[in-house]
Amino acid sequence: MSVCDKLALYQDFERINSIDPAWYDAYDVKRGLRNADGSGVVAGITNISNVHGYVMSDGDKVPDEGRLTLRGYNLGDLIGEEDATRRFNYEEIAYLLLMGDLPHQEELESFVEALDAERDLPDGFTASIIMKETPPDIMNMLQRCVLLLYSYDVSAEVRSYEHEVKTAISLLSRLPRIAVLTYYAKQARFAKGSMIMHPFLPGSSTAETILSMLRPDRQFTPEEARLLDIMLCLHAEHGGGNNSTFTCRVLSSADTDPYAAYAAAIGSLKGLKHGGANHKVREMQQEIKDHVTCWENDDEVADYLARIVNKKAYDNTGLIYGMGHAVYTRSDPRAVILKRFAARLAAGTEFEAEFKLLESIERLSPEVILRERGIKKDMCANVDMYSGFVYSLLGIPEDLYTPLFACARLAGWSAHRFEELVSGKRIIRPAYKSTRRETRPWVPVEKRLTE
């Protein structure tokens, strides 16, 4: 037994850290910064985006179709229709988020050139950082690399707007390369795979760069690049209240450097209740695929969903992952868009049956929850219902699902950091109410009794 194993904290962890839920009601504390109806506590003002999922009428929360606008533009309009010749959609949206307006052609070309100029990592960075003690989770390496890039920046503590924009562009450019290189470093360390290090190709979009670096033969179709580009667009920004963006704002309000703020946001996104939820969704979907004999049989699918709801299958939490959202009620616009594109790509392929199974899970889940729990609520599929499926269509390994989410969301984090620096003005410092009333008498250590 180690010295640490002797500590009482291991045995008393829950007792020491438990708070009676009644205290939250007594002091009207908004747990998780959520109101009683599930809506978020308003903690700030933003011009960057709006996440709409319901309307308030006479104090009641009324479900509505989901809408996501970025700088006033509807997300669906920004993405447009299927067009494999549209190569820099994500770059357009990243520019919009950072600069406030959509770029004209010359501005877009200059932005792509600026990203190209920052793609190279510092000399020796891959060998000395990425390939050294590579962790089993790529998100931790993204954090490490972002923090260590601070040491290569002679102006890291400069808070000028010019430096903020340059740092954001540099990380937007480098993070996708770091993610792919870390994936291969992880394969080399834990699976005895090959360490593949393709150089980037100037003039490539972010999506093209990821596919080119990830695939050993560097080959991909315009349609594949377009679909990954759409994935990046869908994940680029989602309001100031999501956990990772709020994390970035909290750190930025403390006047810390951009590297620390973005690394913290990556740590938040890793969480299984946030960006890491896509792993839970794919695991659950795989279990359903393994245990449902006929995917086209609604009764059989519904029966297994009932087992999940009744805590008798998957992780025994009773949750159907990929269903429901903190804001969206009737529809998640990201899921609607992704589902449309995924349907076209899966049609007539080996993936079509799985796509139809996901549609069945989406359609049947509210009925099953109502039948098994007696709970009727407006519930829609969220973006994670189909995101992992789309990545599998593209042959992207699950290890990269959340890291690619982080690569995309860096544009939104940067925009919110910029806004916090200019308009926040105060350190974010909410209050915690202590439940302890009495003052405990101090006793010298030699006189304290052991139970």
Give one word for 198, left, alpha or beta, with left for phi > 0 and alpha for psi -120 to 50. beta
Q: Kindly give, in sequence order, each residue whose CB lies less than 8 Å from that of residue 23, ignoring residues fewer than 6 positions away.
A: 29, 433, 435
**What 3-state class would DSSP assign to 55?**
strand
CB-based contacts of 163-169 (< 8 A; 24+ apart in sequence): 164/258, 164/414, 164/417, 164/418, 164/421, 165/98, 165/418, 167/258, 167/259, 168/98, 168/258, 168/410, 168/411, 168/414, 168/417, 168/418, 169/98, 169/111, 169/114, 169/115, 169/118
Which residue, among 406, 428, 334, 409, has the nearest Cα to 41 in the 3D structure? 428
C-beta separation of 196 from 184 below 8 A: yes
Return the exposure string of 74-97: e unless at least 16 CB atoms fall within 10 Å of the residue's CB, then b: ebbebbeeeeeebbbbbbbbbbbb
Residues 325, 332, 378, 399: which is the catalytic one?
Answer: 325
Give catalytic status of residue 325 as yes or no: yes
Q: Are strands 60-70 and 73-74 parallel, antiparallel or unpaired?
A: antiparallel
Q: Tokens in use for 86?
A: 């549209």
Which residue, among 122, 338, 146, has the nearest Cα to 261 in the 3D structure? 146
* DSSP-derived secondary structure letter, 61: E
Place of tokens 């580009």: 229
Question: What does residue 164 show for φ and ψ, rounded to 5 degrees?
Answer: -60, -45
C-beta separation of 304 from 288 below 8 A: yes
Which residue, among 255, 210, 245, has the nearest Cα to 229 in the 3D structure? 210
Half-sphere exposure of residue 280: CA atoms within 13 angstroms, side-chain side: 19
Q: Tokens in use for 445?
A: 């250590």
Residues 229, 257, 332, 384: which is the catalytic one?
Answer: 384
C-beta separation of 265 from 413 below 8 A: yes
Annotated catalytic sites, by residue?
Answer: 325, 384
